[in-house]
Chain A
Amino acid sequence: MAPRTVAPFGPQHPVLPEPIQLKITYEDEKVVNVVPALGYGHRGIEKACEINDYPKNIHLCERICGICSCIHGISYCEVVERLWPMEIPPRAKYLRTIWSEMSRTHSHLLWLGLLADALGFESMFMQFWRIREKVLDLLEMTTGTRVTHSVSVVGGVRRDINDEQKKICIRTLQEVRKEAEALINVLATDPTVKARTVGKGVLTKEQAIMLGNNGPHLRASGVKEDCRMEGMQAYGELGFEPIVETDGDCYARTLVRARETLQAIDLQLEAFSKMPEGEIYVRPKGSPPANEAVFRSEQPRGECFYYAKGNGTRNLERLRVRTPTFANIPSLLVMLPGSELADVPVIVLSIDPCISCTER
């Protein structure tokens, strides 16, 4: 038997934009065991959300993650609105949907670029990130900022999209879709990409469910589950259908995210065409009542679970956030053992890990 070696993967590694360490035990070139080490970015945001009054928590929740900041802010507002419960204006629902799908578009483009980079496909990495910039420009134009948008408030949204901005958004999204589709066709058919992803990190449907996977990671194993199926915001009026692949490997996860990128653009275009005129905000009455509520949003990385408990004051009694990567990390303990050491980076990347989200 060959000697076993323990090697740290991270916390600093080219495929990890944020710090997590995997203590990998391997024999020859085969991984035999993995133990995750977390705690490099814990900020105690749940505790901070009990100390601040409820409107200020929007800004805290948006800082859980830079990539999903918009949907974190929206999710927080949605769960707090369910404490009354209160209904927000239809136009605000459409605006939240549009900004959510813009976030998904730029997040998936970011991930596709990271995948290309991990495979050594540097020109494709740059192309994906080049077109991603156009989406960030749209977010900046419509929300005022590129990363933490602070556009959602309890009761609706803070800004509207005017007709001129709408025209620019539609024109730019059509361009982005065309360019993304061309790149995705290359990525999906490239022999090197396939050699590095097909059959790697396989999870069956049953494994994916029992490991609590969610998001594209779960749907790539053939499970049709997506929080948008619940029809929140404007999704119920947009004919949304989850994208599912069945092979459960890194290639299937790539295809799900690639197809979701194009789908997210289509959803935005449809939302722009159906968005009703009207108010964008209703003022909440008093403080959140003594009640508890749950809201699940579909972030780019998967299901994000928000739980809020009110106590009749302006402070929440409890806020719990379970982010997608928090639930997807344990699947690495099953996918990595038995794999080649050289495949570890791509398998880790295939769950689209967001450690900032995970540690909050």
Chain B
Amino acid sequence: MIENLKEISKDTLLQEVQKFADAKARFVTTVCSDLGDKLEVTYFFNYSPGMDMVALRMVVGKDEEVPSISGIYLTAVLSENEMFEQFGLKVKDMAIDFGGLMFLAKDSPVKPMVKDNAAGGKGGE
């Protein structure tokens, strides 16, 4: 169970993230999960100084576009690019857009973290 988790929608994402920035909270990371027909995106923040962590979570359709928070937290740009290339999550207005080629190459598997995209066999079996 994740403590201090708040469910939000993509429409209120920037507004909610701005509150963390106003409170001088540190952005920790995002976690994207494939739920089948939707994607679950969780944003983690840490209140500085100290180690109190809070999270925002939204569930979006696989074809939906979500706003980038990199205009507020530049450091989120790598996480957002990773979610795009690994899960296909469309993120609008990223501060740096690697075009799906941050970690992957042109001949890499497409959206490899999506559940129905096989990664090539059962490891170790």
Contact = CB atoms under 8 A, between A and B. Distances in A.
Given A44-B119, A294-B44, A359 B103 contact: yes
Nearest to B101: A39
Contact of B50 (A42, A48, A225, A303): A225
Interface stretch (A86-94, A155-163, A316-324): A316-324
B2 A227 contact: no
B103 A42 contact: yes
Interface string B61-104: 00000000000011111110000001000000000101001111
B122 A47 contact: no
B49 A224 contact: yes
A330 B28 contact: no
A330 B119 contact: no
A329 interface: yes
Given A39-B103, A330-B74, A225 B119 contact: no
Size category of the A interface is 35 or more
A330 B94 CA distance: 13
B6 to A, nearest CB: 15
A38 interface: yes
B90 to A, nearest CB: 20
Interface in A291-321: 291-294, 296, 303, 305, 307, 309, 317-318, 320
B48 A44 contact: no
Contacts, number: 106
B26 interface: yes
A71 to B, nearest CB: 17
Contacts of A334: 74
A226 B122 CA distance: 38
B24 interface: yes
Given A35-B96, A212-B27, A318-B33, A52 B123 contact: yes
Contacts of B24: 206, 209-210
Main secondary structure of the interface of B (DSSP, over half): loop
SS class, residues of chain A in contact with chain B: mixed
Interface residues of B, number: 43
A317 B46 CA distance: 25
Contact of A326 (B32, B50, B78): B78
A275 interface: no
Nearest to B77: A330
Contact of B124 (A46, A52, A303): A52
A230 interface: yes
Contact of B26 (A39, A212, A293): A212
Interface string A258-271: 00000000000000
Interface in B8-28: 21, 24-28
10 contacts: A39-B103, A210-B74, A212-B76, A225-B48, A229-B50, A229-B51, A296-B53, A330-B77, A330-B78, A359-B103
Interface of A: 35, 38-39, 42, 44, 46-48, 51-52, 56, 206, 209-214, 223-227, 229-230, 291-294, 296, 303, 305, 307, 309, 317-318, 320, 322, 326-327, 329-331, 333-334, 359
Interface of B: 1-2, 21, 24-29, 31-34, 42, 44, 46, 48-51, 53, 73-79, 86, 96, 98, 101-105, 112-113, 119, 121-124
